[in-house]
A and B are shown apart, each in its own frame.
Chain A
């Protein structure tokens, strides 16, 4: 069971979901490899340098990007800095609590961060103001608004879309003209849940509550894999991992073409 929620699912519902899955269908009528409806509102928060409100089914996540000048890390003096944070604010679920990020929020932020960072989505080498001294710092902040399952995909999708519509506010700091944040790759993230012996994509809250294991796969437009995270305390068979990577690639491509690259 996901620690995100710790909420109780009745045994009857649990049995029902498992029975449906064994017959190849799901509570909300989807097939095992079928995603919920996705809706994206670009630039929802114009005050941010870039933003996106992503809805996957009833899950809603708002991602905002802020970019400001700062010092580079000493071990990478000639690249900009990317920093990703996630907040599970209590308005999004009765099971979320106020306070500093817990382990679930940290895992969420780190998995999203790895997808963006390892795919080299943002061309950080173009974010140097003064080599070794001043670079652009890109803050990606994930704000969960309504938690109905699959925060990983909603947050990752929101992040890449928000980055893609971000403008570096150079003029505000007297550092030349504003320019679009250089995005050179398009990572797409797909999460699966294992329930009983069945694997489903884009689990909703009921499915997440009874899932034994979870796996999140981030791929790019070249067919390369950049980040994988297995979650929860259940197990996967070797073949199941291999299959979810293939499926993650296929479904990720579809999401990328429809929601990330579209709008160029």
Chain B
């Protein structure tokens, strides 16, 4: 939470949020698989105002060589924001925030990929945030797991997530930019949907225990809805390939 102050009323007297959503509604999400030519796997996600591309290269040789692991593949995610993706131009290249997010995203994805099947290799996941609108780490992670599946990399399941938070003392799902800037707490969660195990969990701001538990439950339920969109994106890609084949 940036702790900035505002006079904007984030929730009106009818409980509607500034973008018209109710407290437990997520923003519109669109996912597309296999959108890049050169990458081994890719996905594009639009989540509210977020526009994010994820690409997967590998398994491939590890450079630098000393990073290789004789027992399994190393999965390296790189979360990167385009300079023009935010209001004030962001200096290009990794800052401390993107290094931390790259790490938590790598950890989350590593929990489902069968890394031991590809010793001494690297699986590189690149997440490029083209336009940011709060919730980019989760949107990027959600797209990245679709890209991994699109690359044909064996996984236990997809990874999917959603954030919840606290705005004007109300627990709300999937914060937008204003709510993220001026709200009281943000709590991104990502899970393995089949088992509901938690692979990414962060929180910052001000919440009591009961609020965290409620926010976590809301975020997990929303994640399960978004999981259906991920599977649908993957199915659609193959449906389109089959149709194109039939036309020829």
Given contacts A103-B99, A242-B213, contact A230 B201 (CB under 8 A): yes
**In the complex the two chains form, is A107's CB within 8 Å of B103's CB?**
yes
Residue on B with the closest CB to A246?
B209
- 12 more contacts with CB within 8 A, not counting A119-B206, A228-B203, are A118-B206, A223-B208, A224-B208, A226-B206, A228-B201, A229-B202, A230-B198, A231-B107, A232-B107, A234-B111, A235-B192, A246-B209
**In the complex the two chains form, is B197's CB within 8 Å of A237's CB?**
yes
**In the complex the two chains form, is A103's CB within 8 Å of B103's CB?**
yes
Question: Is residue B200 contacting chain A, with contact meaning CB distance below 8 A?
Answer: yes
Given contacts A75-B4, A245-B209, contact A235 B203 (CB under 8 A): no
Q: How large is the interface on B (under 10, 10 to 19, 20 to 34, 35 or more residues)?
A: 35 or more
Which are the 10 A-B pairs with shortest beta-carbon distances? Answer: A235-B197, A230-B201, A228-B203, A233-B110, A233-B107, A236-B198, A103-B103, A114-B204, A106-B99, A106-B96
Question: Is residue A211 contacting chain B, with contact meaning CB distance below 8 A?
Answer: no
Bound complex: CA of A57 vs CA of B206, how far in Å? 31
Q: How far is the CB of A186 from chain B (nearest CB, A)?
A: 15
Partner of B100, one of A106, A117, A119, A223: A106
Residues from 18 to 55 in B contacting A, C-beta threshold 8 Å: none
Bound complex: CA of A103 vs CA of B208, how far in Å? 30
**In the complex the two chains form, is A235's CB within 8 Å of B198's CB?**
yes
Given contacts A109-B96, A246-B209, contact A238 B196 (CB under 8 A): yes
Partner of B220, one of A109, A118, A238: A238
Question: Is residue A227 contacting chain B, with contact meaning CB distance below 8 A?
Answer: yes
**In the complex the two chains form, is A118's CB within 8 Å of B204's CB?**
yes
**In the complex the two chains form, is B202's CB within 8 Å of A225's CB?**
no
Q: How large is the interface on A (under 10, 10 to 19, 20 to 34, 35 or more residues)?
A: 20 to 34
Question: Is residue B102 contacting chain A, with contact meaning CB distance below 8 A?
Answer: yes
Residue on A with the closest CB to B195?
A235
**In the complex the two chains form, is B2's CB within 8 Å of A75's CB?**
yes
Contacts of A103 in B (CB 8 A): 99-100, 102-103
Bound complex: CA of A110 vs CA of B187, how far in Å? 16
**In the complex the two chains form, is B198's CB within 8 Å of A241's CB?**
yes
Residue on B with the closest CB to A102?
B99
